[in-house]
Amino acid sequence: MGNVLVLAEVAEGKLRKTTHSAVTFARDAAAQLGGTYDILVIGAGVDGPAAEAAKLGAQKVLVADDASLENYLAETYAPTVAEVGKGYQVVVGTASPFGKDLLARVAGKLDAGYASDIVSLLPQENGKLTYKRPIYAGNAFVICQLESPVEIVSVRQSAFDPAAEGDGAAATEKVAVVGPSSALDRVSWVTFNSVKSERPELTEADVVIAGGRALKEQFYDILNPLADEFSAAIGASRAACDAGYCAPDLQIGQTGKIVAPGLYIAVGISGAIQHLAGMKSSKVIVAINKDEEAPIYQITDYGLVADLFKAVPEFTDKVKAARA
């Protein structure tokens, strides 16, 4: 028997949806191990997120709440996560920037094996949890196991359906906050320059509209009306982010956001393999591009070769009419 600990992610006083995907993994892993799963909510003033976490079917919700944890730094969070985590067989979080930053540091603290960004939990082999994770920008998968008393795992959010809230509420329990590592003396949180958006999160949206460098300064002028029509999230190619047409955290690809929405519309994106790695699990893929040789057409369900500055506004109007 072994138990699983989920590392919850909190932002702006709420539980992030990333957490729900890690919970789905934890539920499956605990079932395989004949154990249970708990959720660790860590931060300052996190009663609200803890109450949200309590609805996700865990045995217990553990709360590490301290004013010193207000602004996230791995140097302050990792000692507590490691201390709580070492009582579990598996510690899991989601491969968001938060999870990727923190979980690897926790793995270092526990001298533990770390399987990052996994896309599925396979049936056990030789009595051990067995994970599948993408390598080479998703052009191959590796099946792996971890050989350490505590196993550290991060899940790819788009590959695990979010756990639904249930009726019951798990008991919450305060856990002691472990003092920061001495490295904290040499690091300080300065400021968070937040890019506000009213749109859904890229990794959670049912529809994603993604733009490339071809949109130039008209990136949002062209994409906003279409995204409004679908209540879609807006994403981008690396080239569009590098050129400054949109914020860096909109980048979809191997090392950016990984998305798998029901509908993905690529506008003026040629389709470098690094971009495809971030979106090729989408259910329906549409591309609108002037270049008929663009590699993106190798994976699109519906490709339209056209001048996007004309085709996208026309498409937006006609989608609106078709849905009226």
Partner 1 sequence: MKILVPLKRVADPDNANKVKVPADGSKVDTAGLEWKANPFDEYALETALRLTEDGKAQKKRLGEIVVVTFGPKDTEATLRAALATGADRAIRVETDDDHIDGIIVAKALAKIVAEEKPDLVMLGKQQVDGDTNQVGQILAELLDWPMATFAGTVQEEDGGLLVGREVDGGQLDVRVKLPALVTVDLRVVNPTSVYSKVTDKSKFKYAEGVRFAPLPAIMKARKKPLAVKNLGDLVEDTALRVKYLRYEAPPERAAGVRVPDVDALVDKLKNEAKVL
Work out whether 246 is an interface residue with partner 1 (CB under 8 A).
Answer: no
Residue from 168, 188, 217, 293 binding partner 1 (CB under 8 A): 188
Q: How far apart are the first and last CA of the chain?
A: 55
Work out whether 300 is an interface residue with partner 1 (CB under 8 A).
Answer: yes
Residue from 87, 221, 307, 318 binding partner 1 (CB under 8 A): 318
Residue from 178, 273, 290, 309 binding partner 1 (CB under 8 A): 273
Residue from 56, 254, 266, 275 binding partner 1 (CB under 8 A): 254
Helix, strand, or coil here: 160?
coil
**Taking CB under 8 A as the criterion, which residues in 204-223 touch partner 1?**
207
34 Cβ contact partners less than 8 Å away, ≥ 6 residues apart? 1, 2
Question: Based on the number of CB atoms within 10 Å of its own CB, is 224 exposed (0-12), middle (13-18) or buried (19 or more)?
Answer: middle
Count interface residues toward partner 1 (CB under 8 A).
Answer: 95
DSSP string, 195-252: ---SSPPTTT-SEEEEE-GGGGGGHHHHHHHHHHHHT-EEEE-HHHHHTTSS-GGGBB
Helix, strand, or coil here: 3?
coil
Work out whether 146 is an interface residue with partner 1 (CB under 8 A).
Answer: yes
Q: How far is CA 42 from CA 7, 10, 27, 160, 209, in A?
A: 8, 8, 20, 22, 33
Residue keyed to tokens 């892993």: 29
Selected range binding partner 1 among 25-33, 44-52, 110-118, 163-171, rule: CB under 8 A: 110-118
Work out whether 187 is an interface residue with partner 1 (CB under 8 A).
Answer: yes
CA distance 280 to 101: 25
Work out whether 143 is an interface residue with partner 1 (CB under 8 A).
Answer: yes
Work out whether 184 is an interface residue with partner 1 (CB under 8 A).
Answer: yes
Minimum CB distance to partner 1 smaller for 59 or for 130 = 130
Work out whether 231 is an interface residue with partner 1 (CB under 8 A).
Answer: no
CA distance 270 to 285: 13
Minimum CB distance to partner 1 smaller for 114 or for 245 = 114
CA distance 157 to 154: 9
DSSP 127: T
**Taking CB under 8 A as the criterion, which residues in 15-44 touch partner 1?**
none
Minimum CB distance to partner 1 smaller for 45 or for 108 = 108
Residue from 47, 68, 298, 307 binding partner 1 (CB under 8 A): 298
CB of 300 to partner 1, least distance (A): 6
Work out whether 191 is an interface residue with partner 1 (CB under 8 A).
Answer: yes
Q: Is 35:3 a contact under the CB 8 Å cutoff?
A: yes
Work out whether 65 is an interface residue with partner 1 (CB under 8 A).
Answer: no
Minimum CB distance to partner 1 smaller for 135 or for 171 = 135
Minimum CB distance to partner 1 smaller for 33 or for 319 = 319
DSSP 259: -
320 Cβ contact partners less than 8 Å away, ≥ 6 residues apart? 229
Residue from 32, 220, 274, 309 binding partner 1 (CB under 8 A): 274
Work out whether 183 is an interface residue with partner 1 (CB under 8 A).
Answer: yes
Residue from 2, 33, 44, 130 binding partner 1 (CB under 8 A): 130
Work out whether 100 is an interface residue with partner 1 (CB under 8 A).
Answer: yes
CA distance 90 to 128: 12
CB of 167 to partner 1, least distance (A): 30
CB of 316 to partner 1, least distance (A): 10
Plot region of 256 (φ>0 → left; ψ -120 to 50 → alpha; else → beta): beta
Looking only at the bridges linking them, the beta strands covering 120-125 and 128-135 are antiparallel
